[in-house]
Amino acid sequence: MVISFERENCSNLNIAESQEWLVTNGIGGYASSTIAQLLTRRYHGLLIAALQPPLGRTLLLTKLDETAKYKNQNFPLYCNRWANGSINPEGYKKVEKFYLEGTIAVWKFKFADIVLEKRIWMEQGENTTYIHYNLRSGSEPLNLVIKALINHREHHDHTYANNANDWYINIKKANKGVCVQPFPEATPLYLLTHPQIDEKTLVCTHANNWYYGFNLAIEKYRGLEEIEDHLNAITLNAQLEVGKSLTIVASTKENPTTNGEEALASRLAYEQKIIQKFANPQISQVQQKKTIDPLSSPSKISTQKKSISSASISSANDKGTPEWIKQLVLAANQFIVDRKSPEHTEGKTIIAGYHWFQDWGRDTMISLPGLTICTKQFDVARSILQTFAKYVKEGMLPNNFPESGGTPTYNTVDTTLWYFEAIRAYYEATEDDKLLAQLFPVLEEIIDYYSKGTRYNVKLDTDDGLIFAGEPGSQITWMDAKVDNSPVTARIGKPIEISALWYNALQIMYRFAEKLKKRELKYKQLIRLIKDKGFPRFWNNKSGYCYDVIDTPSGNDASLRPNQIFALSLPPISQKYSYTPLLTVEQEKQVMEICTQKLLTPYGLRSLSSDDPEYKGIYGGDMEKRDRAYHQGTVWGWLIGSYVIAHLRIYKDPVKAKELLKPMEKHLMVHGIGSISEIFDGNEPTTPRGCIAQAWSVAEVLRAWSLIHQVS
């Protein structure tokens, strides 16, 4: 059991309210809160339903406040912080242990001679949450009084009772429970039980009482409204016999499975299947491949004995996968959700981060290799690649799909280039010639648009083969924060990671064209131009590392940022094909040394060197303060993957590379337990910030670990 907190931590409020759990349903919905069961975010709740999967996320059931009545004593098991800062009651002190069973959140309460377990999970593919109680021991039956606090709001918003005057709460009997509807247009919330509420041991009472002034501490830290009200719609009174269980099912579905034991067994089996798919070796692929370097003569070929593509896991997994990696595999699956369409009824996409991000194109393409290929969910990878291909316009993939629907946004230069890398990783894992042939015309179209010019002044410079991108007011690289509609890091010109991605895409296209017997000369010519003339312009002899952006309106930008690491990590470590690096061996080592000295932290790379005058070492405060720090020193977890892979390429030391990932194992016990955070403070102690679970952070650690595991 990887994730476990004993009583000394569970009864320490500073710890118990800062560790957050998350369960998901594969369609964009989720449930989340803290070990203390204390609300600290507007995003905490037991059922945040995706009403328009994967979006339309709406808080329906906030929490269940339970009081155990036993031998004429009351034992509150819940916890709330109120507007004045007081904590009442202190139910977290009754928690003997909290742990994750896969991704299922489990509490073990111990008081008097009672041992009561509580589990929370969601049904895959449904807006359905299970809250399951099991009385393990006691000398007589236990009574549970459970107050159900509901809401009905978009998950980014907050609710004041005074602003909910149009709520005319409607509670009516339903099969095995009740249906709660706060106003006529609201999505019905079904609160169902097993055993059913009409049994003598279980009584449902309509309450309809507002509880005012829940204090959401983290929202205050983020400079947002921290006070919210929730409605106690009903109260359940249940008698539990020793060895028996009670399940409360919260769902938008009228007739979900209500048998908690069956639903729990189904969830455990589902997660076990994910782990087994990851751990079991695939049939070995072709052991020998001929490779041709596009910059050398066709006669220069190399033969290999073993593929070390990041796409497949070696049979060494049979010898034992570390428990924390298995936990990450389950975390990876939490980001994979449905995005169905008439063309793709089984369409998939990737939620960028929980709690508040939707499926961003950039994050999806960067995350795809780690989340789907390393975990051997090749059908999911194929679906995502096909789904996004339908949205390509003017040579660009959409970066986001609006929460409320509408037209996707096309405002990045790198998303489309990461698409090439995602397809390469998929193809090297599967040799899916059919999909390659299907997507190749789309990739050709992208190359053509980038060459002739497309949105945001993205165009090819025929003098050096590099891509120029950006215009005033735009922020189209991954460093995209804005304040008062002005980019914090505009980066207009030729950003180094865009040049590395463009070069990588051209090498990939050369291989694909060769495979499909298409004309590849134009790709070969551009590859040579970039290698010989374009990329050497990035080298800054004075500093001994690469410029971050060249040809900006103000000249070349010598800021020390992590973007140059992609010039080292993007040439894939693959012996199926030979990919020509952009820098000399000596230059690569110099880049690694400076990034290690100035940017590396245990959890990722700083977005700006700490000795830069613009450096911001703490991420916090209102939105403006946070946005000014977002890419000006804040540590990004996803960058550790490229750093570790670059380290492995250059130093060929798998043991050291694996050591670089070890801090992430400990991090699984912090912030979003069982997952990896979006960002961290640049200053020590590099406190985790942002999303508690970020797709590309999890994906890149998995990708790096898988590659190291194969070559060690």
pLDDT (tens digit per residue) in 644-658: 999 999 999 999 999
Cα gap 605→671, rounded to integer Å: 19
Assigned domain for 310 exists: no
- Identity of residue 609: S
Q: Output the six-digit token pair for 496.
A: 């180094």
Same domain, 472 and 613: yes
pLDDT at 466 over 70: yes
The terminus-to-terminus CA distance of the chain in angstroms comes to 26
pLDDT in tens, 24-50: 999 999 999 999 999 999 999 999 999
Same domain, 231 and 125: yes
User: Which of 95-99, 127-131, 217-221, 492-496 has the least mean pLDDT?
Assistant: 217-221
Residue with tokens 């290999």: 304
Same domain, 241 and 346: no
Pairing status of strand 30-34 against strand 45-52: antiparallel
Give the pLDDT mean for 331-341: 93
Provide the number of structural domains found in the chain: 2
Q: Output the six-digit token pair for 410.
A: 């096309």
User: Which of 148-157, 308-317, 462-471, 502-511 has the least mean pLDDT?
Assistant: 308-317
Same domain, 246 and 378: no
pLDDT at 328 over 50: yes
pLDDT at 1 over 70: no
pLDDT of residue 39: 98
Look up the pTM and report it. Answer: 0.93
3-state secondary structure of 226: coil
Backbone angles phi, psi at 703, to 5 degrees: -65, -45
Residue 308 pLDDT class (50, 70, 90 cuts): very low
SS (H, E, C) 637-655: CCHHHHHHHHHHHHHCCHH
Q: How far is it between the farthest Cα atoms of the chain?
A: 88
Residue 282 pLDDT class (50, 70, 90 cuts): low
Range of the domain at 492: 339-711
Question: Which of 522-541 are b and which e, b meaning 16 or more Cβ less than 10 Å from the residue's Cβ?
Answer: ebbebbbbbbeebbebbbbe
Domain harbouring 405, CATH code: 1.50.10.10
Cβ atoms of 19 and 673 closer than 8 Å: yes
In sequence order, the 6+-apart residues with CB closer than 8 A to the CB of 690 are 353, 619, 677, 678, 679
Give the pLDDT mean for 478-497: 94
Pairing status of strand 177-181 against strand 291-292: unpaired
3-state secondary structure of 689: strand
Same domain, 459 and 563: yes
Last residue of a domain, one of 231, 258, 285: 258
Last residue of a domain, one of 226, 243, 258: 258
N residues, the chain: 712
Assigned domain for 300 exists: no
Please choose, from the candidates 178, 184, 180, 179, the residue with its C-alpha nearest in 3D space to the C-alpha of residue 166. 184
Assigned domain for 56 exists: yes
Same domain, 523 and 630: yes
DSSP line for 253-305: SSS----HHHHHHHHHHHHHHHHHHHHSPPPP--S---EE-TTS-TT-EE--S
Cα gap 544→587, rounded to integer Å: 8
Cα gap 548→538, rounded to integer Å: 8
Same domain, 226 and 343: no
Cβ atoms of 646 and 569 closer than 8 Å: yes
Same domain, 249 and 348: no
pLDDT at 11 over 80: yes
Residue 383 pLDDT class (50, 70, 90 cuts): very high
Residue 119 pLDDT class (50, 70, 90 cuts): very high
In sequence order, the 6+-apart residues with CB closer than 8 A to the CB of 265 are none
Same domain, 169 and 64: yes
Question: Which of 24-40 are b and which e, b meaning 16 or more Cβ less than 10 Å from the residue's Cβ?
Answer: bbbbbbbbbbbbbbbbb
Give the pLDDT mean for 336-341: 89
pLDDT of residue 528: 95
Give the pLDDT mean for 386-413: 86
Residue with tokens 């960028």: 352
Assigned domain for 553 exists: yes
Cβ atoms of 350 and 332 closer than 8 Å: no
Assigned domain for 637 exists: yes
Backbone angles phi, psi at 162, to 5 degrees: -65, -25
Assigned domain for 322 exists: no
Q: Output the six-digit token pair for 373.
A: 């290929």
Same domain, 559 and 652: yes
pLDDT at 403 over 70: no
Phi-psi sector, 35: left (phi>0), alpha (psi -120 to 50), beta:
alpha
Selected residue with higher pLDDT from 464 and 571: 464
Assigned domain for 485 exists: yes
pLDDT at 702 over 50: yes
Q: What are the Cα distances from residue 301, in Å, to 16, 291, 507? A: 58, 5, 16
Cα gap 70→235, rounded to integer Å: 18
pLDDT of residue 573: 67
pLDDT in tens, 148-181: 999 999 999 999 998 877 788 899 999 899 999 9
Q: What are the Cα distances from residue 445, in Å, to 258, 439, 453, 514? A: 50, 10, 12, 17
Assigned domain for 266 exists: no
Q: What is the mean pLDDT of the chain?
A: 91
Positive or negative: CA dihedral 82, 186, 21, 634: negative
pLDDT in tens, 514-548: 999 998 889 999 999 999 999 999 999 999 999 99
Q: Which residues pair with 324 in a beta bridge?
A: none
In this prediction, what percent of the chain has a pLDDT beyond 70? 92
Same domain, 553 and 698: yes
Domain harbouring 125, CATH code: 2.70.98
Last residue of a domain, one of 258, 275, 310: 258
3-state secondary structure of 138: coil
SS (H, E, C) 34-90: ECCCCCCCCCCEEEEEEEECCEEEEEEEEEEEEEEEECCEEEECCEEEECCCCEEEE
Cα angle: 82, vertex 88, 92; to 5 degrees: 115
pLDDT of residue 316: 35
pLDDT of residue 168: 82
pLDDT at 213 over 80: yes
In this prediction, what percent of the chain has a pLDDT beyond 90? 83
Same domain, 226 and 373: no
